Structure 1
Amino acid sequence: MRKQWMVGLLTVGLVVCGLTGVGHTRAEASTTADTFISNMSSPVKKVADQYKLYPSVMMAQAALESGWGTSQLTINANNYFGIKGSYNGASVTMSTAEYNANGQLYYTQAAFKKYPDAAASMTDNAQLLRNGTAWNPNYYSGTWRENAPTYESAANALTGTYATAPNYGSSLINLIQTYKFYTLDGSTSSAESATPSQKPVVDTTKVNYYIGSNSQTATLGSKYKGYALYNHVKGSKYKTTKYSWSQIGGWQGRPVWIDARGYKVSTKTNWYRVRFSKQTTSKKYWVYSKALSFPKTTYKADKKSVTLNGTIYPVYDHVFNSTYIAKQLTTTKALTNHSVTIDKKATHVQNGVTTTWYRIHSSSLTGWVSSLAIKK
């Protein structure tokens, strides 16, 4: 069962846009959001905590999917998350907007669950995330608090799984940060909680996490045995379990797949979340950067204007398979045959194969693309 956006739920876009406007529209949008938050905060936190999920992410999903409770699906069926199927035999059929493999939007009819009340909708959503699909019980495991170090990583784990919209995770994060839903998770940073007269306390456990595409690779370096594996970044605020290489097995040059980078602020060091199989459901570990050997990436300035060709290529926030761990932002489809500017070139060498990447700029986008995307 793959969850997708409904046309009716897209009214949230109108609500969010209203928040940036003025006058009557702004007041109505603000009132709708305030009422929704007031009514939903307590039950969302109760259900999310029960299933060990992030309340902030659940709250953002409920707001986004239901248009702050104003969508027809929510009004008619108490369905706050747009989950398809039937609930105890009850369902409603509505139009839904979906994205195909090329990122194109299309419309179709689908049956959605009809719930007796909001609590049933929230609990069913939590059970879906915890139990996964019939073919993969770990399908949504990236949202579980024991696997997601931050609400950002949990939100991004819903993109391409729970929803087909390519910007689904970033939309949730924007709502969480705009409305401070992160306070539902039970903690705030020292900078957020400090008064102007206080000096922020230096948090020696602070780690900035960067989630990327899960198919990036590196290999174990020559000194990998000198560094253990952990279930979280060592010294972070999470309780860590240490694993030895005798438990895992390893050798110099053994490939690893990487999907996240953690920058430990106090020591200015990088950690990476790795697994030893292409399967994204494989057990993941955190390891210090010096245990790994990355492909070599060389950067230099290269200013010019170019046009992208008609083939669709991904656009990343960094060079793919670099030490930064790249996250896909979008594809070049929206910029096909449009002139863009380049300000940097990267030469990437992996397994003896050299590829070239360019950082492009348009009026709405900055990102890295393969040289294959550039029209000759």
Structure 2
Amino acid sequence: MKRTKRWLLATLIVGAGLGGLTIGKGTGHAATTDPQTFISTLKSPVTSVANKYKLYPSVMMAQAALESAWGTSTLTTTANNYFGIKGSYNGQSVTMQTAEYDSNGQLYYTDANFRKYPSAKASMTDNATLLRGGTSYNPALYSGTWRENAATYSDAANALTNTYATSPTYGSSLISIIKTYGLNTLLDGSASSSASSSSSSSSESSTTAKPEPTYASAKYYGGASGQTARLNSKYTSYRLYNHVKGTRANITKTAWKKVPAGQSVQVYLDMRGVKTTAAGNKTTWYRIRFSNSASAKKYWLYGKALTLPTVKYSKGTAKVKVNNALSGYYYNHVYNSPYLAKSMGKLKALTAKSYTADNQAIRTQDGVKTTWYRIKVGDKKYWIAANEAAASPQYDYVTYANASGTKKLSAKYSKYHLYNHVKKTHFNQQTFDWPKGVKKGTKVTVNYKGVKTTYGTTWYRFKFSGDKTNYWVDSRALA
């Protein structure tokens, strides 16, 4: 389920003035510049749906107001779509231009299909289903909005930040609307905590209102199935949680004795979360299972409780031949790295015979090393495994032999370059300038020889007098 990303509406909502009123006939939507009329028109469907799905009506009403600009958006007036949800509803949709952001964060506009609902209640129900059902990669993504997990409407509203919307002020915008129009008192009834009551009720009491709790934010990254790690020797120093600790209210713990845990026990990872506190400190968490079954119970665990595969990266360049006849995938990261990789497509979709690689990675997991290359496909970069014969770097073939003796730099030595390997034979190829002070006739000590059989060229590895560094050079640079 997809929905549009709205970025600029928040500043238009709270301060909306009273003005003209337009109520759609026969369609059930409320398009108005009068917030009170919008609220009274939608009170019945909002409370009915929110209570059925055990959500806060005040938060649903505030979301509807924020996302639809109090029902005045074209999407709402033409399609009863109060939450910007894309796709079709019972085969019904409308096409509209929408602003999107590409992978580089650049704004662009495109046409998209949005769901068309027969009534406002149908739109409310669809959004409630989303909040209760989450996404395919994380069914509990919006569980912080559920009444059983959110002690107050403020908790539920804040749980939508960095989940439902990427704006860091999304939750506070909803809370501001709720307080301004007393939605918790009007809609939530006994479900609303006194700690979250409106300012008017606070003024009636001499007791200072309990401040709203502050939670850390978390950004989540889904991963492909089958990625693993092991519990390390310190795992019992940490706890298992149903959410990333400190990111919402009523987070529960699970005792280690209730799961098949133990040092070096393998666990399966399907999501990474990066938590950021109010002070700006970041920690990494993983969502784990104790079996590879998709139905296995999932827990969140601090990354320091896990022994994760290690990855060593090297910059370089190589032409990589891709075997697109295989049934594998290419990824946004090295598969089973601490980042967790997400599949970006099948190998058979890579139709070119070769691609340029700019990064090599050696992953070590349980003592086994595997090689990966980052290749450029169009303007994107992806990781592909070499050990699965999916990616084969194209290097020149060289036969090597021991060599000894001294040689002198030839008159044409400066036309050639010095390398750390025979040219075009290794990924981490480096080129060096000739040291200062060398000239024609400078003596060097040769210690190895290489012949590129395909081209019939000879290379020597040598050292300058008094220098421990080995260089490779084309034999034509030496007399």
Instruction: Classify the TM-score, shorter chain.
Output: 0.5 to 0.7
Distance in 2, Cα, partners of 1:245 & 1:84: 42
The structure-2 alpha-carbon separation of the partners of 1:223 and 1:165, relative to structure 1 and needing over 3 Å to count, comes to closer
2:202 matched to 1:211?
Answer: no
Match of 1:358 in 2: none
Question: What value does the CA root-mean-square deviation take over the aligned residues?
Answer: 4.8
Match of 1:43 in 2: 45
The structure-2 alpha-carbon separation of the partners of 1:220 and 1:157, relative to structure 1 and needing over 3 Å to count, comes to farther
The structure-2 alpha-carbon separation of the partners of 1:38 and 1:221, relative to structure 1 and needing over 3 Å to count, comes to farther
| More helix by percentage | 1
Match of 2:19 in 1: 28
State whether residues 141 and 147 of structure 1, in contact with CA within 8 Å, keep that contact through their aligned partners in structure 2. Answer: yes
Distance in 2, Cα, partners of 1:68 & 1:191: 23
Matches within 5 A, 1:108-187: 108-165=110-167, 167-183=169-185, 184-185=187-188, 186-187=191-192
Structure of larger gyration radius: 2
Structure 1's unaligned 5+ residue stretches are 20-25, 263-271, 293-376
Q: Which has the higher contact order (CA 8 A, sep 6+)?
A: 1
Distance in 2, Cα, partners of 1:212 & 1:282: 23
Task: Give the aligned length.
Answer: 260
Of 92-101 and 133-142, deviating more is 133-142
Deviation by residue 1:9-51 (Cα, 9 ceiling, x = unmatched)? 96674454x54xxxxxx33299611111122233212211211
2:55 matched to 1:64?
Answer: no
Deviation by residue 1:249-303 (Cα, 9 ceiling, x = unmatched)? 477xxxx9785989xxxxxxxxx9x86649xx9745799xxxx9xxxxxxxxxxx
Distance in 2, Cα, partners of 1:276 & 1:122: 30
Deviation by residue 1:145-180 (Cα, 9 ceiling, x = unmatched)? 344454445434434543455543443333233333
Distance in 1, Cα, partners of 2:47 & 2:287: 35
State whether residues 51 and 126 of structure 1, in contact with CA within 8 Å, keep that contact through their aligned partners in structure 2. Answer: yes
The structure-2 alpha-carbon separation of the partners of 1:12 and 1:275, relative to structure 1 and needing over 3 Å to count, comes to closer
Match of 2:79 in 1: 77
Match of 2:29 in 1: none
CA apart distance, 1:54 = 2.5
Distance in 2, Cα, partners of 1:220 & 1:140: 30
Match of 1:337 in 2: none
CA apart distance, 1:71 = 1.2
Distance in 2, Cα, partners of 1:220 & 1:79: 49
Distance in 1, Cα, partners of 2:158 & 2:103: 18
State whether residues 10 and 67 of structure 1, in contact with CA within 8 Å, keep that contact through their aligned partners in structure 2. Answer: no
Residue identity opposite 1:181 in structure 2: L
State whether residues 5 and 98 of structure 1, in contact with CA within 8 Å, keep that contact through their aligned partners in structure 2. Answer: yes
Structure 2's unaligned 5+ residue stretches are 21-31, 222-230, 264-271, 290-295, 306-479
Match of 2:255 in 1: 244
Determine helix, strand or coil for the equivalent of 2:176: helix
Distance in 2, Cα, partners of 1:208 & 1:11: 26
Matches within 5 A, 1:287-298: none
CA apart distance, 1:76 = 0.9
Q: Normalising by structure 1, report the TM-score.
A: 0.53
Determine helix, strand or coil for the equivalent of 1:116: coil
Deviation by residue 1:289-324 (Cα, 9 ceiling, x = unmatched)? xxx9xxxxxxxxxxxxxxxxxxxxxxxxxxxxxxxx
Residue identity opposite 1:213 in structure 2: A
Determine helix, strand or coil for the equivalent of 1:28: coil
Residue identity opposite 2:215 in structure 1: Y
Determine helix, strand or coil for the equivalent of 2:95: strand
Distance in 2, Cα, partners of 1:129 & 1:117: 19
Distance in 1, Cα, partners of 2:134 & 2:262: 31
Matches within 5 A, 1:247-326: 247-248=258-259, 249=261, 259=275, 277=288, 283=298
Residue identity opposite 1:126 in structure 2: A
Distance in 2, Cα, partners of 1:62 & 1:44: 9
Residue identity opposite 1:245 in structure 2: W
Distance in 2, Cα, partners of 1:198 & 1:85: 51
The structure-2 alpha-carbon separation of the partners of 1:260 and 1:47, relative to structure 1 and needing over 3 Å to count, comes to farther
CA apart distance, 1:124 = 1.1
CA apart distance, 1:125 = 1.1
Identity %: 53
CA apart distance, 1:120 = 0.8
From 74, 91, 94, the equivalent of 1:92 is 94
Distance in 1, Cα, partners of 2:135 & 2:220: 22
Distance in 2, Cα, partners of 1:46 & 1:71: 23
Distance in 2, Cα, partners of 1:221 & 1:158: 36
Deviation by residue 1:47-85 (Cα, 9 ceiling, x = unmatched)? 112112232221111001111111111111111111111
Determine helix, strand or coil for the equivalent of 1:94: strand
Distance in 1, Cα, partners of 2:177 & 2:219: 25
